[in-house]
Amino acid sequence: MVLLNGGGVISLLTFLTQIVQRTDDTTQIVRFTAVAIAVLLLGLVVLAPINHLRYESSRLFDHLSTKARGQKYAFAHRLLFWSSIGLFAIGVSIAVIGVWKWKG
């Protein structure tokens, strides 16, 4: 997910630099691209605590007394992972809609 969201941000930034250099009206596509970049960056932020949560849930699963808390950490890990996938899909959709609506 880090590669997907991060790669999306890099490709949209490259696209944005090419669009900004044009002389015609690019306000609409720039807005769509900026929002898509923001959503993909949010997807990266959501991914940040996943490794820690995976480690903690694995560690807590090892003992019967902490297994319930380990299950909560595992649920949080899965929730953040799927949130990142959803944010990636939303970000790409926004970028595609922006390109589709652009009359450049």
Q: Give pLDDT tens digits for 48-64.
A: 999 999 999 999 988 89
pLDDT score for 25: 85
Residue 104 clears pLDDT 70, i.e. is over it: no
Average pLDDT of span 16-28: 87
What range does the domain containing 62 cover?
2-101
The residue among 19, 50, 14 whose CA lies nearest residue 6 is 14
H-type alpha helices, 21-103: 27-47, 50-61, 67-101
What gap in Å lies between CA 59 and CA 13, rounded to an integer?
Answer: 39
Q: Pick the more confident residue, 25 or 6.
A: 6
* CA geometry: angle 82, 11, 18, nearest 5 deg: 145
DSSP 63: S
Average pLDDT of span 5-13: 94
Average pLDDT of span 64-92: 95
Residue 103 clears pLDDT 80, i.e. is over it: no
* Overall domain count for the chain: 1
